[in-house]
């Protein structure tokens, strides 16, 4: 435990610590592009590997939030970024060259997502919902010609040109089982579509990269429950699965010469990089500390040469750094160190992976941050208040990465518990898909059981425990306060969901697909959708709630919060006393912008101080 003379972390100082996002290696390996906010807001930077230094190349043209990835064109002439309007995610695509010249490339009525370019950089492959569903398009920049390549009823998830640009690998679903996903290859003009023979109906297959020979693709599938990675031979339709397949593994990168396959192995909250040597058949976990390795996707985005790769790495108590790792020696150097400013790195608290039983006996895992291990409560023997922080998704998970919100809460003296309820990733297909058709059901029982588990610790003040979450985590807060009205002291719902039918009516087409995948048809399952909409149970709320929502949110529109607020007022609840409410202007579905983080920390800290 830390000594009492260690200073607690100042929340605003914590929020202003610079952060980098989405590092990707140039095709020739000489540069690394990434978003960085060291000067106060998000911009694009280029790191020169030979000089060992970086420079800023945009000046306000990058989006304030770093939600969307960046990617090089295959000729290395520029970097593609996504531009939206104040977080509304209706992205257009622009290219930034090394001199900082920003050139608009693709503008759509809807959302555009960059996928790839041809080898000469002239043709851009992108996904867009401009045709009412997310499908693939190609745009010839020299001829100013656009072509729609796919016209599926269900969204296309991925797209990449083959090494010779004559084919495209992608993923979508043509099955009646909406949880299903399959991998495909087609000719570059959209003809000759071919589904690859992977998995089974209802499993999630994915293609994620081409080998240099153009005859093999890297694939993954969860038909055997735990996701595994394989190499698909296109001429023979044979798959070589990479083993030993004792944990969930996802495809990450292929070396330039095709010898190495890098995967992400998930275990007990950590994401560890593992390299498969296709020449020797050996699998080696890279020699980095247990935490979360974030490996850039896309062609040549991780490897700078045949045996050297770049990735980001963090731990619960150590901020993200950029590593350059040598597979020959299994040594690495830090290219971009974490910045701590006036914050003592020892002030951050590590997370412990724990398990508990839900009400039906299912084992649930989660991460516990104990503030008694940090300066905020050093030497303090009084009972500790707690916050159960519920992740979004629902198909995501809380992990052993550095979490700014968790450390912010711990710095204020709160215990933080992050449950990975059923539906979370990292534990196989069965655990992930158990939530289908049951939003607001047993996964909420898992969250409630996690709250009780935390309250049962003898060092926790059970009368001062809040539930907090954003997106699906916000839906969980509304669900917890309506389904378990006396369990929590209070709840904080950020960009949450309250009315499933209304969400479906207002959402983007690919998110509508996701809602049907999760809960069935909204009309055929009308009563289920109504029962699992927290707005239907607003009369059950007994404890105070704080609602925070961005006005430009396209995923969970602002009306989701407004209708719940209005329903509370119709009950006679008073703002400021019974509930609190904040709308965030110039912000969508969350933000990484420094000033917006500072504002959010101020709001959260002030509310919890008064309510707990």
Q: Give the C-alpha separation, 16 to 595, whole Å.
A: 8
**Would the pLDDT of 379 be above 80?**
no
- Within 412-457, where are the H helices? 429-433, 442-455
Mean pLDDT, the chain, integer: 94
328 and 366 in one domain? no
Counting every residue, how long is the chain? 612
Given a contact cutoff of 8 angstroms between Cβ atoms, the answer to whether 274 and 286 are in contact is: yes
* Tokens 């992990």 belong to residue: 399
The tally of CA atoms less than 13 A away on the side-chain side of residue 259 is: 12
Assigned token pair, 144:
């100013």
* 507 burial via Cβ count (<10 Å: 0-12, 13-18, 19+): middle
| Domain containing residue 487 | 351-611
pLDDT tens for each residue of 18-55: 999 999 999 999 999 999 999 989 999 999 999 999 99
pLDDT tens for each residue of 587-605: 889 888 889 889 999 999 9
pTM of the predicted structure, to 2 decimals? 0.94
167 and 277 in one domain? yes
Whole-number pLDDT of residue 8 = 64
366 and 247 in one domain? no
What is the pairing mode between strands 228-233 and 216-221?
antiparallel
Phi, psi angles (nearest 5°) of residue 525? -115, 40
Which residues face 177 on adjacent strands? none
Given a contact cutoff of 8 angstroms between Cβ atoms, the answer to whether 471 and 555 are in contact is: yes
Edge-to-edge strands of the sheet including 112-117? 112-117, 123-128, 135-140, 145-148
Q: Give the C-alpha separation, 420 to 472, whole Å.
A: 13
228 and 364 in one domain? no
Q: Give the C-alpha separation, 587 to 88, whole Å.
A: 8
List the one residue out of 20, 495, 427, 490 whose CA is nearest residue 225: 427
310 and 365 in one domain? no
402 and 326 in one domain? no
Domain boundary among 307, 336, 365: 336
502 and 358 in one domain? yes
Report the phi/psi class of residue 88: left, alpha or beta, with left for phi > 0 and alpha for psi in -120 to 50. alpha
- Band of pLDDT at residue 7, cut at 50, 70 and 90: low
Residue 589's CATH number = 3.40.50.1820
Report the phi/psi class of residue 109: left, alpha or beta, with left for phi > 0 and alpha for psi in -120 to 50. beta
224 and 371 in one domain? no
Does a structural domain hold residue 1? Answer: no
Does a structural domain hold residue 404? Answer: yes
* Tokens 């020892």 belong to residue: 346
Domain boundary among 336, 369, 397: 336
Does a structural domain hold residue 387? Answer: yes
**Would the pLDDT of 440 be above 50?**
yes
Instruction: Please give the distance of CA 324 from its chain centroid, rounded to a whole number.
Output: 23
358 and 250 in one domain? no
Q: Give the C-alpha separation, 211 to 253, whole Å.
A: 10
Given a contact cutoff of 8 angstroms between Cβ atoms, the answer to whether 25 and 310 are in contact is: yes
Domain boundary among 301, 336, 371: 336
305 and 249 in one domain? yes
Given a contact cutoff of 8 angstroms between Cβ atoms, the answer to whether 442 and 360 are in contact is: yes
Q: What percent of the chain has a predicted confidence (pLDDT) above 70? A: 98
Does a structural domain hold residue 568? Answer: yes
447 and 312 in one domain? no
Does a structural domain hold residue 47? Answer: no
Q: Give the C-alpha separation, 476 to 168, whole Å.
A: 39
Whole-number pLDDT of residue 11 = 78
Does a structural domain hold residue 342? Answer: no
pLDDT tens for each residue of 260-287: 999 999 999 999 999 999 999 999 999 9
Given a contact cutoff of 8 angstroms between Cβ atoms, the answer to whether 519 and 574 are in contact is: no
Which residues face 274 on adjacent strands? 263, 285
Worst-scoring range by mean pLDDT, 139-148, 369-378, 416-425, 547-556? 369-378
Domains contained in the chain, number? 2
Does a structural domain hold residue 55? Answer: no
Does a structural domain hold residue 315? Answer: yes
Q: Output b/e per residue, 185-206; b: 16+ Cβ within 10 A.
A: bbebebeebeebebbeebbbbb
446 and 510 in one domain? yes
């Amino acid at each position: 435990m830390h000594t009492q003379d260690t200073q607690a972390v100042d929340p605003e100082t914590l929020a202003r610590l610079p952060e980098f996002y989405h590092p990707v290696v140039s095709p020739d390996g000489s540069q690394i592009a990434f978003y960085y906010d060291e000067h106060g807001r998000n911009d694009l930077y280029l790191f020169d590997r030979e000089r060992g230094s970086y420079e800023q190349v945009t000046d306000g043209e990058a989006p304030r939030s770093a939600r969307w990835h960046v990617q090089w064109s295959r000729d290395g002439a520029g970097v593609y970024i996504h531009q939206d309007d104040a977080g509304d995610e209706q992205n257009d695509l622009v290219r930034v060259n090394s001199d900082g010249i920003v050139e608009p490339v693709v503008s759509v009525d809807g959302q555009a997502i960059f996928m790839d370019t041809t080898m000469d950089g002239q043709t851009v492959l992108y996904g867009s919902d401009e045709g009412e569903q997310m499908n693939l398009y190609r745009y010839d920049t020299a001829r100013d010609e656009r072509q729609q390549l796919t016209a599926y009823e269900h969204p296309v998830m991925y797209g990449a040109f083959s090494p010779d640009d004559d084919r495209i690998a992608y993923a979508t679903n043509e099955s009646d089982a909406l949880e299903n996903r399959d991998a495909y290859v087609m000719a570059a003009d959209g003809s000759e579509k071919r589904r690859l023979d992977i998995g089974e109906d209802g499993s999630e297959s994915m293609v994620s990269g081409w080998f240099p020979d153009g005859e093999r693709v890297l694939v993954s599938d969860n038909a055997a429950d735990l996701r595994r990675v394989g190499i698909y031979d296109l001429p023979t339709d044979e798959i070589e699965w990479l083993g030993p397949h004792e944990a969930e593994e996802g495809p990450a990168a292929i070396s330039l010469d095709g010898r190495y396959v890098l995967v992400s192995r998930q275990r007990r909250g950590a994401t560890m990089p593992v390299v498969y040597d296709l020449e020797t058949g050996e699998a080696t976990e890279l020699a980095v500390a247990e935490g979360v390795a974030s490996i850039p996707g896309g062609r040549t985005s991780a490897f700078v040469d045949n045996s050297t790769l770049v990735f980001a790495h963090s731990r619960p108590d150590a901020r993200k750094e950029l590593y350059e790792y040598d597979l020959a020696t299994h040594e690495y150097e830090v290219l971009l160190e974490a910045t701590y400013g006036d914050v003592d790195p020892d002030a951050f608290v590590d997370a412990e992976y724990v398990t508990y039983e839900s009400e039906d006996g299912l084992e649930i895992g989660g991460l516990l941050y104990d503030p008694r291990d940090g300066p905020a409560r050093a030497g303090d023997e009084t009972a500790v208040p707690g916050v159960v922080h519920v992740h979004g998704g629902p198909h995501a998970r809380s992990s052993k990465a550095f979490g700014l919100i968790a450390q912010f809460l711990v710095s204020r003296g709160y215990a933080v518990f992050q449950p990975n309820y059923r539906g979370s990733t990292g534990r196989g297909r069965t655990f992930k898909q158990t939530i289908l058709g049951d939003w607001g059901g047993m996964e909420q029982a898992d969250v409630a059981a996690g709250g009780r588990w935390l309250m049962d610790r003898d060092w926790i003040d059970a009368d001062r425990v809040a539930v907090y979450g954003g997106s699906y985590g916000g839906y969980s807060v509304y669900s917890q306060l309506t389904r378990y009205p006396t369990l929590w002291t209070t709840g904080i719902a950020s960009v949450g969901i309250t009315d499933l039918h209304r969400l479906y009516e207002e959402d983007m087409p690919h998110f509508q697909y996701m809602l049907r995948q999760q809960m069935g048809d909204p009309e055929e399952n009308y009563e289920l959708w109504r029962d699992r909409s927290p707005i239907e149970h607003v009369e059950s709320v007994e404890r105070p709630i704080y609602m925070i929502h961005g006005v430009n949110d396209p995923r969970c529109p602002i009306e989701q919060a407004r209708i719940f607020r209005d329903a509370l007022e119709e009950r006679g609840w008073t703002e400021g006393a019974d509930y609190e409410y904040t709308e965030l202007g110039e912000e969508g579905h969350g933000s990484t912008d420094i000033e917006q983080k500072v504002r959010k920390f101020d709001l959260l800290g002030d509310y919890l101080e008064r309510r707990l």
